[in-house]
Structure 1
């Protein structure tokens, strides 16, 4: 078959392993192995993991709400439908310090394993330089 479809009501959503942010692995559910693609729904006060990659470059798109993101030392405020490209070696983290949910679409290529429950300590230390549960300053109190 030359295509696959995942209907809106068919997507499997689950909390992420470390930060408990609702997400759905679109690429996996569609049988795609060439790149990663996920939707992330951040409720007020939530953040994704602060991380970097060895090989994967990522494209972040704000689909709903206002997007907040840190890339290395820069803090970005992004209106709906804004997009950001991040190279593998930059440390990045999306977060929500607002009052409404934010929905992000994140694409990454090439696809790399991202399950912290299956990584060794050396890999975790490289990918998550401040640990897999670090919060941005905007949510630290």
Structure 2
């Protein structure tokens, strides 16, 4: 693998479930060789909702590959395909799907704190 660039087809990475919910995620950070940010593809099926959370010290940007929905502090926002959503580390966020179609997102977090296996600074309110 070259240190200069890497091309990864997310479809080639097996999906797993998040630790806190059933939503499928393809962890792309390692296949891409990223060291300064985390990258995941999140597949949100109709009726699914990811766990509301914050990240101490990690800003996130979500890219809607398809039309999607994101809840910010409990308010659901429709996001058109191709749009980006930036979320402050202290803001409660979660992806949701109240439609009949699968939603596909790319999630970028920097700096790279925690992971899908070890949430580290991932904060879930009780």
TM-score between the two structures when normalised by the length of structure 2: 0.87
* 1:128 counterpart residue number: 124
The reply to whether residue 19 of structure 1 matches residue 15 of structure 2 is no
Alignment of 1:60-139 (within 5 A): 60-64=62-66, 66-115=67-116, 118=118, 127-130=123-126
Residue segments in structure 1 that go unaligned for 5+ positions in a row: 131-141
> What is the CA distance between 1:12 and its match in structure 2?
2.3
Residue segments in structure 2 that go unaligned for 5+ positions in a row: none
The CA distance in 1 between the partners of 2:74 and 2:20, in whole Å, is 22
* 1:37 counterpart residue number: 39
* 1:10 counterpart residue number: 12
Compare the two structures and name the one with the higher helix fraction: 1
TM-score between the two structures when normalised by the length of structure 1: 0.79
The structure 1 residue matched to 2:51, chosen from 29, 49, 68, is 49
Q: Specify the structure having the higher radius of gyration (Cα).
A: 1
The CA distance in 2 between the partners of 1:114 and 1:7, in whole Å, is 20
Compare the two structures and name the one with the higher strand fraction: 2
> What is the CA distance between 1:114 and its match in structure 2?
3.0
Q: Indicate the SS of the match to 2:105.
A: strand
The CA distance in 2 between the partners of 1:107 and 1:54, in whole Å, is 15
Structure 1 moving runs of 4+ over 3 Å: 117-120
Seen in structure 2, the aligned counterparts of structure 1 residues 73 and 46 have a Cα distance that, compared at 3 Å, is closer
Seen in structure 2, the aligned counterparts of structure 1 residues 118 and 63 have a Cα distance that, compared at 3 Å, is closer
